[in-house]
Homo-oligomer: A and B are copies of this chain.
Amino acid sequence: MSPTTELIAVGTELLLGKIVNTNARDLSESLSALGINVYYHTVVGDNPERLRQAVEIARNRADIIITTGGLGPTYDDMTKETLAACFGKQLVCCEDIAAKIRAYFADRLPGVQMPENNMRQAYLPEGCTVLRNDCGTAPGCAFYAEGKYVIMLPGPPRECRAMFRSGAVPYLKALSDAEILSHNIHIFGLGDSAVEEKLRGLMQRLTNPTLAPYAKTGEVMLRLTAKAESGAEAERLMTPVLQEVREVLGDVIYGIDADSLEGTVLRLLLDAKKTIATAESCTAGLLSKRLTDLPGASAVFLGGVAAYANEVKTKMLGVPETLIADHGAVSGPVARSMAEGARTRIGADFGIGITGIAGPDGGTAEKPVGTVYVALATAEATYVRNLRLGTDRTRVRMMAAHHALDMVRRYLTNLPVENI
């Protein structure tokens, strides 16, 4: 059983919503990689009594308490005083640190009298391990008392991260007894409840590794996590489960440990040495923006047309006016013509065409809001999906771009492109 941890962030600015608690995220990610479970995050203001109560709660439910913030020189920095008192320790002046703080000031502000409150930073709980601050003046510390490990880190994210790495990780590694590894399984084309329906038995049966779903907007991610004495052993535990998930879900899995659908498509295009061009009506640039979010896109993305007005579809992409008149701007034939126009006019291997009704207006009984046609034109054929993507404008646009990326992925991996 690995030790459990609670993170306590101290700072009224967090409770006012002025800043977001990124330290909790950063530390949790690193602790998880060390095989240390984080069970709670707590945020409390610069209030010694409320902090004391939070520490009392934490010591009853965690083996390790890591605080962030409240180590600075000002009167509202009360973390060391409060934690030391909770664990029956005195603060004592650490002469090394005091000398370092004096030197730091003399160096930066020569001739200026150092405000005396800076010396508060040199007072640390008796018997603690001092954690050096390479990015600021406030040192951190770690101690073991009354069966608990306590680690105090500074609040500024840069200082917190640096001190965690240089000071807290070596301290914690001695406590960890296992290697924990994860794989993320990325899925597009099946909703979260359908994924879970298919895998419920497996998820409930597994204890090590574990398999859990994480909903992402418009797609689904499963995380497989194994704990073992070595990384190789953890991988060995995961291999058959990964295989089983692949068998159950099939080709809706677009990647293992992928960064994003657009990243996956970008790499497939790079590998195939193919170029792409886009023609977007309702998404109006969202797809081209996503295709270029990552560096290196210029090798595969040539350009695109945001063809919002019908005249732009005609003038810039060569969509025949009669096609629009006969079928409507939101139709399979127009999506097809847009994709082919983008492909030939821009001179790419693939062309994408997207036309739809993002809403809230423009829907009809036959083509309600959320109706979207997505086409992929290749040298051999053009494929079209006819979709109903709900009524939320932002979601309709995002899902339309997702589908376009999915069509390219499926084409480049020799899977059926149109049916989903």
Contact = CB atoms under 8 A, between A and B. Distances in A.
Interface secondary structure of A, over-half rule: mixed
A257 interface: no
Interface string A280-309: 100111111101110101100111111111
A30 B281 CA distance: 35
Nearest to A40: B44
Contact of A115 (B194, B217, B312): B194
A265 interface: no
B197 A115 contact: yes
Contacts of A236: none
A309 B204 CA distance: 51
Contacts of A76: 212-213
A374 to B, nearest CB: 16
Interface string A260-292: 000000000000000000101001111111011
A74 B25 CA distance: 24
Nearest to A193: B115
A370 to B, nearest CB: 8
When all copies of this chain in the complex are counted, the total is 2
A303 B292 contact: no
A18 interface: yes
Contact of A15 (B12, B41, B54, B311): B41
Interface stretch (A90-98, A240-248, A385-393): A385-393
Number of contact residues on A: which range applies?
A: 35 or more
A232 interface: no
A289 B285 contact: yes
Contacts of A295: 358-361, 393
Interface in A48-102: 50, 53-54, 57, 61, 72-76
A27 interface: yes
B44 A43 contact: no
A307 to B, nearest CB: 5
A315 interface: yes
Contact of A303 (B18, B28, B215, B307): B307
A29 B16 contact: yes
Contacts of A395: 135
Chain A to chain B: the 10 pairs with minimum beta-carbon distance, closest first:
A285-B285, A17-B29, A17-B28, A303-B312, A285-B288, A41-B43, A284-B292, A304-B306, A285-B289, A288-B306
6 contacts: A24-B43, A73-B193, A76-B213, A288-B306, A293-B393, A302-B309
Given A21-B41, A285-B306, A315-B347, 9 more contacts: A20-B25, A39-B45, A72-B192, A117-B197, A283-B289, A293-B393, A305-B305, A305-B316, A309-B346
